[in-house]
Structure 1
């Protein structure tokens, strides 16, 4: 029996956490560069604790809850450190910790297998400093925890395939359950895990001559173990949403859900299934250009050695997530964002670490009856051409990904970083001007928040929806001045703002995503003329990209 040492993992975690957090604080506090979904989750956590109607259900049911829940302890410190919320530092801490955790899991695969230090170290470093990994470890998005849970589940299932240790299966199941609470496409990973576990359990029992009844019993038990946490998460989250909102799957059917966002934004950008497939393949090539060649080589080598099973967990789990994303984009049900394919970087790293034979057995608490430990190679045996190819695969990905992230077409959410890395303030090139505007996203909303804060308004004085208004609310040091949709009396106040002490209305154009704004639904001409209930006080043209202009109306008192 061998147990894994925690020392190297802690050192790796500390080093990468500091790196990602430093980048995150620089982007958020130094440059005020934010990503919308990250700010939205910060605002959700803020609403749970510091809105005028604080309650747990204010976390919302469009996004999965884990990233916002994790931020709650830090958000609670906002009265003493306002920047945790107003500058989204809590989000940077969250993503930095989870991304550092994913690096620990990647390096853990190398340590589990006793790979040469230079090989495991280089592959881990290449993963850790990949530009996409650094950016999404710093910006507070859900990609960091999602990568962590996928890498954690993959590592544990690789160990389970060798050891048949039920502890590994249970931990993998927990990781998959948390993965679903991070991103809904985590359900695809769970289904792939169920397929893998069922296949391995049944075939392994069959090989040793286990009676059919026992074979099926064991297979069903193992599949049930790996699926149960995700099933509980799925049913629990849907049931909670239904009890509170009357909608079990608000992420799909709500006017704030993904389908509505795509429709309001004019479509996903995938004109035909064939074009969408080409686009997805290009995205994957940007993130892992040599991975397909490495995968084929590793599959052939392992098939020759009759050791394919340890490769299956990672390929099936993360492959299912990527297949789900490609299918979703081809059907026009999601956007063509580079970050949606980021899991291929973790897939490439783990496959690279499985490219050479293990040099020691995996850590194990209690080997199962169907354990199939690998034949351990001599530690003095030199690394083969496969090991070198694995390292080269990860090395080449770094400059290719950095180059791909400069493309407005293939990296619409990342290309603006070129203006951070190589600023050209005097440039008049269209691409650079577009990048500058992306970097200025939410600067107008911050200015509006500062203006409203300066008025020293009482609680419940400003009525707004959070379709776009989340960025104003989260930047404010006085969140209780806002009446927002998560407030239980929002609809009542919306129907008669003057009678409930509302002084100002935040309005956006009644078009695109603004058509889902509750104020526009209730008062369709509000942005144009105040709908005869308010008068224009201030108009602000938006400096950011793909964000609406704002008008602030003062409510006409009765």
Structure 2
């Protein structure tokens, strides 16, 4: 009965997810390259199950854990399909499923709000098959699940705008919390929505509707109480999630803000920005920052412009709901501006793309407000806006000056990470063959492609192992047989091995003898133990 009732929605989900999965497998397995951020999240899940010290805390406390928790379920099948880890296919599966779910959600929302099935399907397809959105459905990054939760958050919020049912707001609040467990960008999104609630309750939902459909004007104090109550429904889940994450960082890592200021955090990694002349110039002139952020946001803003034009034609442009939409939309570039003021954002092109799902999630609600010829005009303008956006973003993908990270992923041109992964996938089988029963210490921050490609991952002593710190402090007195150390790269934060022994890679150490150099990227040293201590 459920399949029959939701057959078209399920078919859309299955088709988009399958298409994303096929392309993702082709890139990750056939071409042999996985985005490093996606692969590192797979590694975090992998350590929970298959490291020397398997425990949930091995999932890490820098990046939000939900993507790795979902990949952990897929990795249960790792013994049967090692490529789930070695080539990151666990991440591809998760991102593909969420891409399909996003398409199904848009289609279902349009139907719920009274749009024609064909229009709802077209909106869903234009969003999901937009080359840029499609890319993030198959590349295994956390963006696909985050985009899904954005869509769920904003569509349910819009349904609350229309019918005032608290159930929609509750769903929106939990979706926002789940978005936080995927990416930190959910926090400014929540702030934008909180401001949207204020605007809605004070100026739009300012009347009480009784059972007889009679309306009564609410007093200012009543509206403020309603703002408070609405905030509790919408924001309590994400506030609780944030406090829980701080608590976990405190009790496990010993620092409640470990995710913000550890040696692996974004703040540490972005320190290299000061060496980039372009960023240094922007950091010194906030006006240049605003110009840079505005230019990047405009690539995704055509659907918003289409909505504003529709509102202008429908004589609703200068309204509080327009300001609500703009407030939520501007939460994305607003975050980037604040981060760049703190000199801690790389300003990558994809960081600005979240304005597109915010806008598209608003579209079904916007069209549902239109009647007759105005709806046909609105549909035409929105569809045109989405088509123009698809063309713009297709061009951006082809231009390394605009979308450098995405272009290098698709073409491998100038992609040092791709070349490095090819080397690292060869290191793992060599270590398996020659040192299958040895203990090899390495920092998983850098060595995760090697660990994932190994058929004997338990031979590695890695960062999340309970004895890693003690072993690293005094390697000659430890039970470690070998140390695998990576080359120090200028501008890249040091891993713990290079932090403890900064000259080890280049010069070795009195207690270490070089065994093998791997293409100048990695070196394996044998630890010469003090026999009296062994």
Q: So what's the TM-score if we normalise by structure 2? A: 0.89
How much has 1:212 moved relative to structure 2? Answer: 4.9
How much has 1:59 moved relative to structure 2? Answer: 0.7
Checking the alignment, whether the CA contact within 8 Å between 2:126 and 2:387 is kept in structure 1 is yes
Measure the CA separation in 1 of the matches of 2:493 and 2:383.
50
Give the aligned partner of residue 523 of structure 1. 501
Match of 2:357 among 332, 341, 346: 346
Checking the alignment, whether the CA contact within 8 Å between 2:193 and 2:327 is kept in structure 1 is yes
Checking the alignment, whether the CA contact within 8 Å between 1:42 and 1:88 is kept in structure 2 is yes
How much has 1:330 moved relative to structure 2? Answer: 5.2
- Post-superposition Cα deviations, 1:413-445, rounded to whole Å, max 9, x if no partner, equal 11135537xxxxxxxxxxx5x25x554341111
Give the aligned partner of residue 141 of structure 1. 141
Measure the CA separation in 1 of the matches of 2:489 and 2:179.
35
Match of 1:534 among 484, 506, 512: 512
Checking the alignment, whether the CA contact within 8 Å between 1:106 and 1:346 is kept in structure 2 is no
Evaluate the alpha carbon distance shift between residue 328 and residue 315 of structure 1 in structure 2; reply closer, same or farther with a 3 A threshold.
same
Evaluate the alpha carbon distance shift between residue 252 and residue 280 of structure 1 in structure 2; reply closer, same or farther with a 3 A threshold.
same
Give the aligned partner of residue 28 of structure 1. 28
Measure the CA separation in 1 of the matches of 2:317 and 2:289.
37
How much has 1:308 moved relative to structure 2? Answer: 5.5
- SS across alignment from 2:524: strand
- SS across alignment from 1:304: coil
1:505 has 2:483 as partner: yes
Give the aligned partner of residue 332 of structure 1. 343
Evaluate the alpha carbon distance shift between residue 142 and residue 483 of structure 1 in structure 2; reply closer, same or farther with a 3 A threshold.
same
Larger helix percent: 2
Give the aligned partner of residue 402 of structure 1. 394
Measure the CA separation in 1 of the matches of 2:513 and 2:54.
30
How much has 1:393 moved relative to structure 2? Answer: 0.9
Checking the alignment, whether the CA contact within 8 Å between 2:99 and 2:148 is kept in structure 1 is yes
Evaluate the alpha carbon distance shift between residue 245 and residue 303 of structure 1 in structure 2; reply closer, same or farther with a 3 A threshold.
farther
Measure the CA separation in 2 of the matches of 1:7 and 1:318.
33
1:276 has 2:289 as partner: yes
1:445 has 2:453 as partner: no
- SS across alignment from 1:414: helix
Give the aligned partner of residue 371 of structure 2. 377
Evaluate the alpha carbon distance shift between residue 117 and residue 267 of structure 1 in structure 2; reply closer, same or farther with a 3 A threshold.
farther
Give the aligned partner of residue 211 of structure 2. none
How much has 1:266 moved relative to structure 2? Answer: 5.2
How much has 1:275 moved relative to structure 2? Answer: 3.4
1:291 has 2:283 as partner: no
Q: Judge which range, 75-84 or 316-325, deviates more.
A: 316-325
1:323 has 2:323 as partner: no
Measure the CA separation in 2 of the matches of 1:141 and 1:178.
16
- Post-superposition Cα deviations, 1:267-300, rounded to whole Å, max 9, x if no partner, equal 5752313333333333333344x33531431342
Flag the structure with more relative contact order, 1 or 2, with Cα contacts below 8 A and sequence separation at least 6: 1
How much has 1:204 moved relative to structure 2? Answer: 4.6
Aligned-residue CA RMSD in angstroms? 2.5
Give the aligned partner of residue 126 of structure 2. 126
Give the aligned partner of residue 212 of structure 2. none
Measure the CA separation in 2 of the matches of 1:7 and 1:441.
45
Checking the alignment, whether the CA contact within 8 Å between 1:484 and 1:490 is kept in structure 2 is yes
How much has 1:198 moved relative to structure 2? Answer: 3.0
Evaluate the alpha carbon distance shift between residue 28 and residue 69 of structure 1 in structure 2; reply closer, same or farther with a 3 A threshold.
same
Give the aligned partner of residue 316 of structure 2. 304
Give the aligned partner of residue 213 of structure 2. none
Evaluate the alpha carbon distance shift between residue 383 and residue 161 of structure 1 in structure 2; reply closer, same or farther with a 3 A threshold.
closer
Evaluate the alpha carbon distance shift between residue 318 and residue 147 of structure 1 in structure 2; reply closer, same or farther with a 3 A threshold.
farther
Checking the alignment, whether the CA contact within 8 Å between 1:462 and 1:502 is kept in structure 2 is yes
1:412 has 2:421 as partner: no
Checking the alignment, whether the CA contact within 8 Å between 2:64 and 2:182 is kept in structure 1 is yes
How much has 1:456 moved relative to structure 2? Answer: 4.3
Checking the alignment, whether the CA contact within 8 Å between 1:508 and 1:550 is kept in structure 2 is yes
Measure the CA separation in 1 of the matches of 2:472 and 2:100.
44
Checking the alignment, whether the CA contact within 8 Å between 1:277 and 1:330 is kept in structure 2 is no
Checking the alignment, whether the CA contact within 8 Å between 1:266 and 1:512 is kept in structure 2 is no
Measure the CA separation in 1 of the matches of 2:71 and 2:194.
31
Measure the CA separation in 2 of the matches of 1:257 and 1:39.
17
- SS across alignment from 2:405: coil
How much has 1:344 moved relative to structure 2? Answer: 2.5
Give the aligned partner of residue 364 of structure 1. none
Measure the CA separation in 2 of the matches of 1:339 and 1:305.
29
- SS across alignment from 1:385: helix
Measure the CA separation in 2 of the matches of 1:42 and 1:418.
20
How much has 1:90 moved relative to structure 2? Answer: 0.7
Q: Judge which range, 347-356 or 519-528, deviates more.
A: 347-356
Measure the CA separation in 1 of the matches of 2:324 and 2:7.
26
Measure the CA separation in 2 of the matches of 1:323 and 1:333.
14
Checking the alignment, whether the CA contact within 8 Å between 1:103 and 1:124 is kept in structure 2 is yes
Task: Give the unaligned 5+ runs of structure 2.
Answer: 208-215
